[in-house]
Amino acid sequence: MTRRHATLTTSLGDLLVVADGDALAGIYFEGHWHPPAADSIGVEVEARGDTLVSRFGRQLDEYLAGKRSAFDLPMAPIGDEFQLAVWAMLRDIPHGATTSYGELAVRLGDRNLARRVGNAVGRNPISIVVPCHRVVGADGSLTGYAGGLERKRMLLELEGAAIVAQARLF
């Protein structure tokens, strides 16, 4: 298989889904802060005709219906060593829980890395599946989200997460 992309229409808006071989390489919202370069998304395919994209679509529908709390999909995000470490930590945040950029920095061994963690979180190429929406401000408030704060709020509310006041750390 080759690098390819399809667009899925969802209750969150259209999602650009990029696959590379048998793994997800990107999921991007309309108006995403850091969209992929047009020459990096491969050929366009029909979503329902692509096994991986269809599988993601089914799992996303289950998640949005409250019937799924985790995704079971192969992923191949492209990033530097630090970004990959941060994105791996994002996958460890339980459904319905939140953490802060500072807490992730502490887990990496240096609270002063919080801004760098924020940059890595903001560049997460596999939205929703790698749950960067579960990272909030130190006081539990909503902070930036590459797909927009309304989508972040919607995802957190769907999961029953506390979105204002104290962050529930994992």
Q: What are the residue numbers of the active site?
A: 132
Query: Long-range contacts: 158-165, Cβ < 8 Å, 24+?
Result: 158/63, 158/64, 158/66, 159/69, 159/95, 159/96, 159/134, 160/96, 161/96, 161/97, 161/98, 161/134, 162/98, 163/98, 163/136, 164/140, 165/139, 165/140
d(CA 79, CA 154) in angstroms, rounded, equals 27
d(CA 25, CA 53): 11
End-to-end CA distance of the chain: 38
